[in-house]
Amino acid sequence: MNILVTAGPTREFIDPVRFISNRSSGKMGYAVARAALMRGHKVVLVSGPVSLQAPDGLAVVRVVSAAEMQSAVEAGVDGCDALVMAAAVSDWRPARVHANKLKKRSAPATLDLEPVPDILMGLASRKGGRIFVGFAAETENLLDEARAKLNSKNLDMIVANDVSRTDAGFEVDNNAVTFIPAHGEAMALPLMSKDDVAERLVKWIEARRK
């Protein structure tokens, strides 16, 4: 299969030196890319700014902003059989990007934000027979919030991720997730390495494809 994976955060600049971002380390998405590669798939990894080494043998497209990630995903989606959106795409960005560094003395009292277009939602008409998997990082109402995203983004599965835990989720090597498929029972997995979560996810995609 050709598998397109996104990983890491995006950065939304306020001025040339300051940005809004989030705690995503990219570890989960990189683990998915590695697992897919190890299981014999062709992988394109669209990566936000992270400090991880990409595995040999895959194409890496490096992006910074959500808009760049959207362009890279749109360029790759037609050629993929499965898309795994593990990236923590910014939900908002500054409405205005200043061309020069803002002076401390003239700092704006407020920062106007605008919503970032949803990459997955924008792909609905191009989904066809492709398998789309999303991730939902939540701190409360995990399963309800994840299910709402599964439906609104027209996904085949969402991986629900409780990021309020300190032993799993953001930045660490382990994850405790629930696989929620569009059809079928939710599967709560015990705490395990992100590599093991990734292998299970790739196997789920393979089984779904058959």
Does 174 qualify as catalytic in the annotation? no
Question: Contact at 8 Å (CB) between 19 and 92?
Answer: no
Q: Quick one: which segment of 44-52, 117-125, 161-169, 196-204 binds ligand C5P (CB under 6 A)?
A: 117-125
At position 38, the amino acid (one-letter code) is M
Among residues 87, 131, 142, 198, which is the contact residue for ligand C5P, using CB under 6 A? 87
* 71 Rama sector, left if φ>0, alpha if ψ -120 to 50, beta otherwise: alpha
Counting residues that bind ligand C5P (by CB under 6 A) gives 14
CB-nearer residue toward ligand C5P: 37 or 119: 119
Q: Does 170 bind ligand C5P (CB under 6 A)?
A: no
According to DSSP, the residues that pair with 76 across neighbouring strands are none
Q: Does 5 bind ligand C5P (CB under 6 A)?
A: no
Among residues 46, 54, 116, 197, which is the contact residue for ligand C5P, using CB under 6 A? 116
**Residue 204 burial (CB count, 10 A):** 18
Distance CA 31, CA 196 (A): 8
Among residues 89, 131, 180, 201, which is the contact residue for ligand C5P, using CB under 6 A? 89
Task: Find the catalytic residue in 22, 100, 141, 175.
Answer: 22
* 4 Rama sector, left if φ>0, alpha if ψ -120 to 50, beta otherwise: beta
| Residues found near ligand C5P in the complex (CB under 6 A) | 66, 85, 87, 89, 91, 116, 118-120, 134-136, 149, 153
